[in-house]
Amino acid sequence: MMEVSRMSHTVDFTHSGVSRFPDRDLGVKRFHCEVGVALADQKHLGHNRWHPDIPPLYEVGLGDEVILEAGGYDDYQLKDVDDDQDVRDFDLTRTHPMTGPIKVDGVKAGDLLVVDVLDIQPLSGIGYSNILPGMGGPLANWFPKGYKTVWDLHGTTATSRQIPGVEIPALSHPGVIGVAPSHELLEQWNKREDPLIEQGLAAPRSDARSTAVLRTLEGDEWARVAETAARTVPPRENGGNLDIKNLSRGSRVYFPVFVDGGLLSTGDFHFAEGDGEITWNAIEMDGVGWYRFDVIKGGMAKYGIRTPMLRPSPIDPNFGTRYLTFTGLSAAGSEQKYLDATMAAVQAVEQAIEYLGKFGYTPEQAYTIISVAPCEMHIGGIVDIPNAAVTLKLPLDIFDQDILPR
């Protein structure tokens, strides 16, 4: 691998297009993303909505491989500068530019599409983590102005001038990877999500139609598909925005197939992420994914699979027992919720933020660390009525100081 010197923080990667992964003839079809260019200006590459009528980018056979590049989740809206104005001006309707769909010959509705994740790498070498105003996860109201972190991605670690003294190990993966829904499944999604959209509890669809990119569709066809196409924000039966940190190189994913050919698309690459992606951001990057395809005929009925199943990556940062574990409950002070794992998780995160503050980290820095480091969040119990218990494991070795209590 070519060695690349660390770039000065004055370099704007979104315009320079510097990459530490030069093109090589690997004997595999590769689709290139132009660094710094919004998907709308290279729409032949993919799409940012889900719909079965988006034309395929490429067709492969069983056993074939393909390399797909994609812009970061921000669609190149963010810049390598210390000013946070780009976070405040962020257009959420442009998020998740995906490359695809890839049609797999011999795959039919009712099958399981087997996708091997052979490799995931950064594209430009710069990453971002944001607490977006109004979209900062369960603690959004703590950070009304938002917060941006810029990461230098070098080799197996990431560092940031906004959070000095912390080094995050790579566990790179696609945040978004999924197959196309059928027309029937898409209609079901829209029916169940429309009431939530009306309450402001789900990403708007019709109000965001103008920024829909649907590959080569234009005119009346674009308008027809854009009318009902689903946003990419939530994960669904097709996969999509799963945000699973261990879906890294060496993973195998079993996707239920809803349309012939499967029509797989991917994007939203992450350099690293903690369980839960609690701020709504990992270390987001433009990236390169290398995939291989196979099929299990009739696998949905044979194995009762309704949502994706995976065998996680064998690669994991090796921290052994070097974690500090925080606990959270579905009760705090006078507030009580019945077996509410979300409340318990938030309580654990709040405790970790307060604890890291004792070692000099601001709430913004601590919240970001918990979201992007390979933290592990587990349900300790959801049967011991009335309280759920959740644990948050924070790796000690990412810090350049000892954070154990003494």
The model's pLDDT over 102-121, given as tens digits with 9 standing for 90+, comes to 999 999 999 999 999 999 99
Flag whether pLDDT at 183 surpasses 60: yes
Residue from 285, 299, 359, 340 nearest 18 by CA: 285
Res 23: pLDDT: 57
pLDDT for the residue numbered 216: 97
- What is residue 22's predicted lDDT score, i.e. its pLDDT? 52
- Average of per-residue pLDDT values in the chain: 92
Chain-centroid distance of CA 154 in Å reads: 20
* pLDDT recorded at residue 206: 85
Confidence of residue 392 (pLDDT cuts 50, 70, 90): very high
Torsion of CA 249, 253, 258, 261, to 10 degrees: 50
Flag whether pLDDT at 160 surpasses 90: yes
Structure tokens at 291: 């995939």
Identity of residue 63: G
DSSP bridge pairs for 241: 176
396 closest CA partner among 367, 375, 368, 379: 375
Burial state string for 78-90 with b = 16 or more CB within 10 A and e = fewer than 16 = bbbeeebebbeeb
pLDDT-derived band at 126, boundaries 50, 70, 90:
very high
Tell me the mean pLDDT in the region 325-340. Answer: 96
Six-digit token pair at 276? 């839960």
Distances (CA, A) of 285 to 233, 267, 282: 17, 10, 9
Mean pLDDT of 126-155: 91
Q: How far apart are CA 343 and CA 331, in angstroms?
A: 8
CATH entry 1.10.3720.10 includes domain 13-311: no
User: Residue range 10-16: average pLDDT?
Assistant: 37
Given a cut of 70, is residue 344 above it in pLDDT? yes
Task: Indicate the angle between helix axes 341-357 and 363-372, nearest 10 degrees.
Answer: 130
Q: Do 228 and 203 contact (CB within 8 A), yes or no?
A: no
Q: How confident is the model at residue 11 (pLDDT cuts 50, 70, 90)?
A: very low
Residue 101 has pLDDT above 70, yes or no: yes
Tokens 């690669």 belong to which residue?
A: 315
List alpha helices for 134-263, DSSP H: 183-198, 219-228
Q: Which residue carries 């027992």 as its tokens? A: 321
Please identify which residue in the block is written with the tokens 């009580």. 336
Q: Tell me: the pLDDT tens digits for 212-263?
A: 999 999 999 999 999 999 999 999 999 999 999 999 999 999 999 999 999 9
- Each residue of 41-68: pLDDT tens digit? 999 999 999 999 999 999 999 999 999 9
What would the two tokens of residue 402 be? Answer: 């000892």
CB neighbour list of residue 28: distance below 8 Å, 6 or more residues apart = 65, 66, 67, 290
Per-residue confidence (pLDDT) for residue 25, from 0 to 100: 61
What is the predicted pLDDT for the residue at 24? Answer: 58
Block residue for tokens 């998907």: 39
The per-residue pLDDT for 155 is 81
374 half-sphere exposure, CB direction, 13 A CA radius: 28
Question: Where do the structural domains in the chain lie, given as residue ranges?
Answer: 13-311, 323-398
Neighbouring C-beta atoms of residue 354, cutoff 10 Å: 12
Mean pLDDT of 136-143: 89
